[in-house]
């Protein structure tokens, strides 16, 4: 079976979408299929180094460039859209030629995993899979104050996304052509259905490498004498909702002792000391900035609770990582976290109006402090869920789905 993959972002040494693209490519190759991957040159060095260490003759990468003037615009909000659409156009020209040579059995668009951005590969008129996709989720406007100086940019993204939904023929035709559309959250699922996708399934493409999940996690009814150890991991971007978390922690009952560790840097880093002072959290917060993965793992092992309150997120790899170390979760009840974090793994806080959300996050922390045995129970449930989210488990699940829908064919 010959498969063509669209992997705009792909890099084995990166997380996020780039890392997931690499995992998808290897998942197909390890099944024995002949796999051709279209990607940008950005991850070329790391891809070639990885293939040199572990050769896979049936896994081939084709690097597609854009004009230099387009490349220079990549890091602006409008420029990244232009970069992607021109790359897609160039990718289709290469794909058309490759299809004449190889007559692909399956075309799978993986990256960008944005429903509104679409894919040019529908034009090949081949059996097609589109996704996993996000993009149908939008930030709750009642929470715009927590985006600080990023709200205008967020609204520009919102506006562009809604225009693309109406006018991007690549999106609309990809949904119609695809035999299967995979989505990461209910908002994107509903958008795909609205635009007449034939078969839409929810599928969480965030996964854990088989060696990333600890084989055993020690659970104990830890004493609260030293207070709860709370952990927040992520980039300091406007949509990540850190000011919301800090405001909520400032409302926690003073009798509840806790400390907060923040791992991550980013464009709002200069504001963090101001926020900590505003919410009187300076003495209980340890901000370490961006740290290597080894320190992140150690933090997962040494903390009691993981906080993830992103205001716009398809899902969030940190959630899976934290659950793989048995941490109970406090998150927001929307987007991918609502759809995939188990109900019995912690608290999913309503996202209706800010003061309610602030109050409920604070109450969740207080509950975890008052009932350490429940905290352990939540952690065990988190760990059990993470055990089902390895890439090997993903591979088994996705090929079972392909077989059900008549997509899967033996190599």
pLDDT at residue 220, as a whole number? 59
pLDDT at residue 321, as a whole number? 94
pLDDT at residue 411, as a whole number? 45
Q: 220 exposed, middle or buried (CB, 10 Å; 0-12, 13-18, 19+)?
A: exposed
My answer on whether 10 and 47 are in the same domain is: yes
Q: Which domain holds residue 126?
A: 2-207+390-405
Look at the chain and report how many structural domains it folds into: 2
> In whole angstroms, what is the distance from residue 306 CA to residue 84 CA?
34
In a domain, 243, yes or no: yes
In a domain, 246, yes or no: yes
My answer on whether 292 and 185 are in the same domain is: no
My answer on whether 85 and 25 are in the same domain is: yes
Q: Which CATH number is 361's domain given?
A: 3.40.50.2000
Phi, psi (rounded to 5 degrees) for 181: -115, 125
In a domain, 292, yes or no: yes
My answer on whether 53 and 101 are in the same domain is: yes
Residues of the chain with pLDDT under 70: 211-213, 220-225, 408-411
pLDDT at residue 15, as a whole number? 81
pLDDT at residue 48, as a whole number? 98
**Closest C-alpha to 364, from 306, 280, 283:** 306
pLDDT at residue 408, as a whole number? 65
In a domain, 222, yes or no: no
My answer on whether 6 and 147 are in the same domain is: yes
In a domain, 73, yes or no: yes
In a domain, 276, yes or no: yes
Taking the chain, what is the end-to-end CA distance rounded to the nearest angstrom? 5
DSSP output for 208-269: B-TTTS-S--------STT-EEEEEES---GGG-HHHHHHHHHTS-TTS-EEEEEE---TTG
How far from 254 is each of 251, 285, 328, CA to CA, in Å? 8, 15, 22
**3-state percent helix, strand, coil for the chain, nearest multiple of 5:** 50, 15, 35
> In whole angstroms, what is the distance from residue 150 CA to residue 278 CA?
19
pLDDT at residue 212, as a whole number? 67
pLDDT at residue 223, as a whole number? 60
My answer on whether 342 and 373 are in the same domain is: yes
- What one-character DSSP code corresponds to residue 67? -
Taking only the tens place, the pLDDT of each residue in 319-346 is: 999 999 999 999 999 999 999 999 999 9
My answer on whether 189 and 255 are in the same domain is: no
pLDDT at residue 35, as a whole number? 98
Taking only the tens place, the pLDDT of each residue in 51-74 is: 999 999 999 999 999 999 999 988
What residues contact residue 307 under an 8 Å CB cut-off, 6+ apart?
230, 231, 232, 245, 330, 331, 361
Taking only the tens place, the pLDDT of each residue in 276-327 is: 999 999 999 999 999 998 899 999 999 999 999 999 999 999 999 999 999 9
Residue with tokens 């896994």: 59
My answer on whether 325 and 397 are in the same domain is: no
């Amino acid at each position: 079976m010959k498969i063509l993959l669209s992997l705009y972002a792909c890099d084995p040494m990166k997380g996020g979408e780039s890392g997931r693209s690499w995992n998808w490519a290897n998942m197909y190759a390890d099944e024995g299929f002949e796999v051709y991957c279209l990607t940008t040159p950005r991850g070329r060095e790391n891809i070639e180094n990885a293939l040199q260490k572990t050769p896979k003759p049936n896994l081939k990468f084709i690097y597609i460039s854009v004009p230099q003037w387009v490349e220079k615009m990549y890091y602006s909000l409008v420029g990244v859209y232009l970069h992607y659409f021109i790359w897609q156009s160039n990718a289709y020209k290469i794909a058309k030629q490759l299809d004449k040579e190889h007559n692909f059995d399956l075309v799978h668009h993986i990256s960008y995993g944005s429903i509104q951005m679409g894919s040019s590969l529908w034009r090949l008129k081949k059996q097609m899979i589109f996704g996993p996709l996000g993009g149908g989720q939008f930030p709750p406007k009642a929470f715009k104050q927590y985006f600080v100086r990023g709200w205008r940019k967020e609204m520009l993204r919102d506006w562009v996304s809604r225009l693309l939904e109406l006018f991007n023929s690549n999106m609309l035709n990809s949904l119609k052509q695809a035999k299967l559309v995979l989505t990461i959250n209910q908002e994107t699922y509903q958008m795909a259905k609205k635009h007449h996708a034939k078969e839409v399934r929810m599928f969480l493409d965030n996964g854990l490498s088989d060696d990333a999940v600890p084989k055993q996690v020690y659970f104990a009814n830890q004493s609260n004498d030293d207070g709860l150890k709370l952990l927040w991991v992520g980039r300091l971007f406007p949509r990540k909702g850190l000011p919301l978390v800090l405001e909520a922690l400032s409302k926690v009952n003073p009798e509840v002792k806790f400390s907060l560790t923040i791992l991550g840097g980013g464009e709002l880093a200069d504001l963090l000391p101001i926020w900590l002072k505003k919410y009187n959290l300076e003495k209980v917060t340890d901000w370490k900035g961006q740290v290597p993965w080894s320190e992140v793992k150690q933090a997962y092992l040494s903390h009691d609770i993981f906080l993830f309150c992103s205001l716009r997120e398809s899902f969030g790899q940190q959630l899976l990582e934290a659950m793989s170390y048995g941490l109970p979760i406090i998150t927001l009840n929307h987007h991918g976290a609502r759809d995939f974090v188990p109900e019995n793994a912690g608290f999913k806080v309503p996202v209706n109006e800010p003061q309610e959300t602030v109050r409920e996050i604070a109450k969740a922390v207080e509950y975890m402090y008052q009932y350490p045995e429940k905290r352990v129970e939540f952690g065990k449930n988190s760990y059990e869920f993470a055990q089902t989210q390895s890439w090997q488990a993903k591979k088994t699940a996705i090929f079972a789905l392909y077989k059900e829908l008549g997509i899967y064919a033996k190599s």
